[in-house]
Amino acid sequence: MTKEEKKAAKAQRKAEAKEKGKGIWAEFKEFINRGNAFMLAIGVVIGGAFSAIVNAFVNILTSLATWPVPGGLAGLVSPLPAITDVQKGLGAGAHLDIGIGQQFAAADLLDKADALATKLYGAGYSDVQFVDAKGMLTSNYTLYGKVYYYNATALINWGTLLNAVIAFIIIAVVLFIIVKVANAAAAKKAAMEEEALERYYLKHPEERPAPEDPAKPKPTTEELLASILVELKKANGEEAPEPEEIVAPETEAAEE
């Protein structure tokens, strides 16, 4: 193969690769621009945001249902009741003796762990024992914001619900803007295509389809099927009757 032939083959391969890339990009744009796929993506995102609101609200209802449990209700609804024996989760009620209670600030975690380790292992506790005491606290208390609450406490977490509502509104506004932009782009594209088609018909008036006559009745299903049968017979080289001759016997039978 000569040098010119190699260069020509290389250029042809580049052209084929470029054409293939254009085809894949065109298919991708067609897939993205499909209304069903676009609206399905919008629905999935909206559904995920709304499910967070539902989950937060259900958790609040669950907490209301567990109001009578020992330990009572905490948060923004009622004062914190006294700790009961049911909430002794750290063994022998050690956390009660050091005054941890039903809640404590997150900044006091290390001090509470130090007091608990001293109570359980003595003043000369090791680092491993300190980590063990800290693990006891974090496994029996859950952090909400900057406060640790005992796990047996029924909490109404208004913050999570409020955050979910705010996030849903923000997501809905963003998606609304995206849909508006997409609809405007689709309408502009349709107008440009219609304008281009009109310019083509002005240059080629013979190809403009004839306007439909509203007074003219539309063909029936039988007439359309008869026309298709005639065209098929003509394509096969057979002598085909006119569509009226095919439909006429059925019409006469119907009239009788």
Cα 125 to Cα 99, 116, 150: the distances in Å are 20, 10, 25
* Cα(215)–Cα(252) distance, integer angstroms: 24
Residue 29: domain span = 14-57+161-203
Quick one: 128 and 183 in the same domain? no
Among 203, 205, 175, which residue's Cα sits nearest to residue 49? 175
Quick one: 131 and 185 in the same domain? no
* Helix, strand or coil, per DSSP, at residue 6: helix
List pLDDT tens digits, range 208-242. Answer: 777 776 667 777 888 788 888 888 877 777 765 65
Quick one: 137 and 171 in the same domain? no
pLDDT in the model for residue 78? 36
10-residue stretch averages of pLDDT, the chain, 256 residues long: 71 71 68 68 87 86 62 42 41 52 85 88 90 89 82 74 90 90 86 88 80 72 81 74 54 48
Quick one: 143 and 79 in the same domain? yes
Quick one: 48 and 82 in the same domain? no
Within a domain: residue 224?
A: yes
Q: Global pTM?
A: 0.48
Quick one: 170 and 121 in the same domain? no
208 residue type, one letter: R
CA dihedral 246, 247, 249, 251 (to 10 degrees): 180
Helix ranges, the chain (H): 3-33, 35-65, 94-97, 109-121, 127-140, 158-203, 221-235, 243-255
> Structural domain tally of the chain?
3
Quick one: 77 and 141 in the same domain? yes
pLDDT in the model for residue 167? 92
CB 78 within 8 A of CB 153: no
Quick one: 79 and 121 in the same domain? yes
Cβ-based neighbours of 45, under 8 Å, separated by 6 or more = 171, 175
pLDDT in the model for residue 40? 80
